[in-house]
């Protein structure tokens, strides 16, 4: 699959054996590639070299007669070439491109120098362990990619679309909006679509990380990637293949590794300066003693310089740090959380203030009409109210129309929507207004004072400027919302704020129930922006905003970290956000913070490990107290340990 290939290429960026981003520009690819870490052929050169090396060491140890002179040299060269050739080739390629000081050159010079000095076992061992380190890294990357790449397997390659009086199997990208597709039991939806069947159950794990089946009713939107569980159903396609929820998720995942964390970028810049410095220090280690040491022996100091080169190779850093961030992105995706870049894993660790939208974030956003208070005939009242609300896409409007239960609607004309207030329209030559109390005050329409005492959300109706009644709308708080707020406080969040366009009375009621520190209701989109700007005036605050609606997009963009509820959230909110929570659970906000902190901890542990071990062995090597074998541990051994540490992120429980 083309997208899978693209993802694989993206993910190679920054890894020592693949792209070496510290030496090359973003996305620059090289021929040097150890291939698929799961392929046995990938390991053959290392196995061949290891076998020959072990046999050679045994023959040396037992001083076998025939294993001398040219036979011994040829044997070690035969062991050296399979693992050394790709590295030497890459060193030549990078030199021809004008990038001289790379770890490839360091390894090539060090091992060829060791061969020249007759240190054949060390030369083969250094290159062998370097190659094994790369293979180990490749396997680690494959493991880290596993959770992310699983997304690539959930998108079907075909769709059964109704054309020419029958269902035809076609590619999903050829299906148009409005066409009908059929899903059999066990098939995944290839595109987003409106359910035409009465009901159906779906496994949504591919998108949300939740394995519990979810039931959809007729008219509800089924997203691409959801697995139809128990019956043949039909969907009316609502979005093209490229615009489906799953395609957007894949695009986010594919581009995630291109956004580097500051730590990762620093290490790349550091390696670019560090590598030539250690090269010239190695040269100095050979040249300077000639001027100051009385019994100078060229081969001794050359060997020390070669050891110095092996130790100083920056692979442990340039492998383990990107892998650490990549592991964090993978761990998050397995929990239904998509980070759009490793830089956001860094940002989330600094968050100390979380600002939450109410509807769709802390509540389900599934509204129901709970009570009707009308001054006119109730049937007439609901017919007029449902008719005008049918012109709006707001969830509350949909709840009112749904409650009316698809009965006959009246013709509506001259519709005007007043954002954050309601609607005005002409219905049967009558001027109709539907909305909140602010809208009625705006048009100076009198209504009973008891309406202002209602705690729940209400929608009022006026016909020809005369109050006709209202309906009460209720919305259910998500089951894990209270736990989420409590966990935020326990995990270093100093203040949790709720901003809502809903009535202030109901906003305060929910805030008290959930234990939220500060809450503001009756907010228009611009009011939310103003409130967030007010919070951000305190420069000590690092603010995350969590929302799901179109009206949340400006606040998501303004915050230090924008988090969108992805399963039910609007396209605009998902595109604007830095992190997407696919299963819509507020508790996953805390999970995202924990994953960010765990990733940062692992990355800093790896940096410390690499620097400390290398510094110690560099000093020992320069003093002649460390051999090539210690150098191998300082380079490849530290890389092994760092990779193992990075893999831990995948295994942690959050």
Q: Say how far apart CA 385 and CA 371 lie, in whole Å.
A: 14
Give, in degrees to the nearest 5, the angle at Cα 313 between 346 and 30: 75
What distance in Å separates the CA atoms of residue 159 and residue 323, rounded to the nearest whole number?
Answer: 36
CB atoms inside a 10 Å sphere around CB 556: 28
φ/ψ of residue 591, rounded to 5: -60, -45
Tokens of 297: 């022996």
Which of 192, 357, 502, 578 is labelled catalytic?
Answer: 357
> Cα 138 from chain centroid?
20
Burial (CB count <10 Å: 0-12, 13-18, 19+), residue 524: middle
Bridge-based pairing state of the strands 214-217 and 199-203? antiparallel
The answer for residues whose C-beta is within 8 angstroms of residue 265's C-beta and 6 or more apart is none
C-alpha distances in angstroms, 561 versus 201, 294, 543, 576, 597?
A: 34, 63, 7, 10, 15
Residue 346 appears among annotated catalytic residues: no
C-alpha–C-alpha distance, residues 588 and 301, integer Å:
57
As a whole number of angstroms, the distance between CA 461 and CA 3 comes to: 51
For residue 652, what are its two tokens?
């942690």
CA 576 to centroid of chain Cα atoms: 14
Token pair, residue 359, equals 């509807």
Q: How far is CA 321 from the centre of its chain?
A: 16
Q: Give dist(CA 84, CA 327) in Å, integer.
A: 29
Q: Which residues of 443-466 are buried (b: 16+ CB within 10 A; e: fewer)?
A: eebebeeebeebebbbbbbbbeee
DSSP category for residue 477: B
How do strand 561-565 and strand 412-418 relate by DSSP bridges?
unpaired
Residues 597, 649 contacting (CB under 8 angstroms): no
CB-CB contact of 355 with 559 (8 Å): yes
Coil, strand, or helix at residue 193? strand
CA distance 557 to 529: 10
Angle at 171 between CA 169 and CA 172, to 5 degrees: 105
Q: Is 31 exposed, middle or buried (0-12, 13-18, 19+ CB in 10 A)?
A: exposed
* Paired strand residues for 458: 472
Residue 447 structure tokens: 């209504």
Looking up tokens 């290490």 gives: 267
284 vs 72, 123, 301, 310, 594, CA distance in Å? 32, 22, 10, 15, 46
Partners of 546 in beta bridges: 356, 563
Q: Which pair of tokens denotes residue 612? A: 């400390």
Q: Are strands 353-357 and 543-547 parallel, antiparallel or unpaired?
A: parallel
For 407, the 3-state DSSP assignment is coil
Could you list the active site residues? 357
């Amino acid at each position: 699959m083309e997208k899978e290939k693209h993802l694989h290429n993206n993910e190679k960026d920054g890894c020592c054996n693949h792209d070496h981003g510290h030496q090359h520009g973003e996305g620059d690819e090289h021929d040097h590639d150890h291939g698929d870490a799961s392929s046995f052929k990938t390991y053959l050169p290392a196995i061949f070299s290891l076998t020959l090396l072990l046999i050679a060491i045994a023959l040396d140890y037992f001083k076998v007669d025939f294993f001398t002179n040219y036979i011994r040299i040829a044997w070690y060269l035969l062991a050296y070439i399979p693992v050394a050739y790709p590295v030497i080739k890459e060193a030549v390629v990078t030199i021809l491109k004008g990038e001289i000081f790379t770890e490839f050159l360091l390894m090539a010079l060090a091992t060829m120098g060791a061969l020249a000095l007759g240190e054949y076992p060390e030369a083969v061992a250094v290159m062998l362990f370097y190659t094994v380190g790369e293979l180990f890294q490749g396997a680690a990357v494959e493991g880290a990619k596993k959770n992310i790449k699983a997304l690539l397997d959930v998108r079907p390659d075909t769709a059964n679309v109704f054309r020419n009086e029958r269902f035809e199997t076609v590619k999903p990208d050829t299906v148009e909006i409005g066409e009908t597709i059929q899903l059999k039991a066990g098939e995944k939806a290839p595109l987003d679509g409106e359910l035409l069947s009465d009901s159906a159950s779906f496994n949504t794990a591919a998108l949300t990380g939740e394995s519990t089946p979810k039931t959809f009713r007729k008219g509800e939107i089924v997203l691409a990637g959801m697995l139809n569980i128990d019956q043949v159903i039909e969907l009316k396609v609502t979005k093209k293949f490229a615009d489906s929820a799953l395609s957007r998720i894949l695009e986010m995942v594919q581009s995630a590794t291109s956004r580097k964390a500051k730590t990762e970028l620093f290490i790349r810049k550091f390696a670019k300066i560090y590598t030539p410095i250690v090269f010239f220090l190695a040269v100095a280690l050979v040249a300077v003693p000639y001027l100051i040491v009385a019994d100078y022996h060229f081969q001794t100091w050359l060997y020390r310089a070669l050891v110095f080169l092996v130790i100083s190779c920056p692979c442990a850093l340039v492998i383990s740090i990107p892998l650490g961030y990549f592991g964090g992105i993978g761990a998050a995706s397995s929990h239904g959380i998509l980070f759009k870049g490793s830089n956001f894993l860094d940002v989330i660790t600094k968050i100390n203030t979380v600002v939450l939208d109410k509807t769709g974030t802390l509540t389900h956003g599934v509204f129901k009409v709970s009570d009707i208070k009308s001054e006119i005939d109730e049937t007439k009242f609901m017919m007029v109210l449902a008719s005008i609300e049918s012109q709006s896409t707001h969830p509350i409007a949909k709840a009112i129309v749904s409650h009316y239960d698809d009965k006959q609607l009246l013709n509506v004309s001259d519709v005007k929507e007043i954002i954050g207030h309601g609607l005005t329209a002409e219905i049967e030559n009558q001027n109709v207004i539907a909305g909140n109390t602010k809208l009625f005050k705006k048009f100076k329409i009198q209504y009973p004072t008891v309406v202002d005492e209602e705690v729940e959300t209400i929608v009022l109706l006026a016909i020809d400027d005369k109050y006709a009644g209202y309906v009460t709308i209720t919305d259910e708080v998500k089951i894990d919302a209270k736990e989420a707020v409590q966990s935020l406080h326990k995990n270093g969040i100093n203040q949790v704020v709720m901003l809502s366009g809903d009535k202030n009375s109901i906003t305060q009621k929910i805030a008290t129930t959930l234990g939220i520190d500060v809450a503001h209701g009756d907010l228009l989109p611009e009011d939310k922006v103003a409130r967030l700007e007010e919070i951000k005036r305190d420069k000590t605050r690092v603010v995350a905003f969590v929302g799901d609606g179109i009206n949340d997009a400006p606040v998501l963009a303004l915050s230090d970290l924008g988090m969108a509820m992805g399963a039910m959230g609007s396209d605009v909110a998902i595109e604007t956000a830095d992190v997407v929570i696919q299963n819509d659970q507020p508790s996953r906000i805390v999970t995202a913070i924990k994953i960010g902190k765990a990733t940062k901890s692992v990355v800093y542990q790896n940096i410390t490990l690499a620097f400390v071990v290398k510094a110690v062995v560099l000093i020992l090597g320069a003093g002649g107290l460390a051999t090539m074998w210690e150098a191998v541990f300082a380079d490849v051994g530290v890389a092994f340990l760092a990779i193992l540490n990075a893999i831990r992120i995948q295994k942690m429980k959050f």
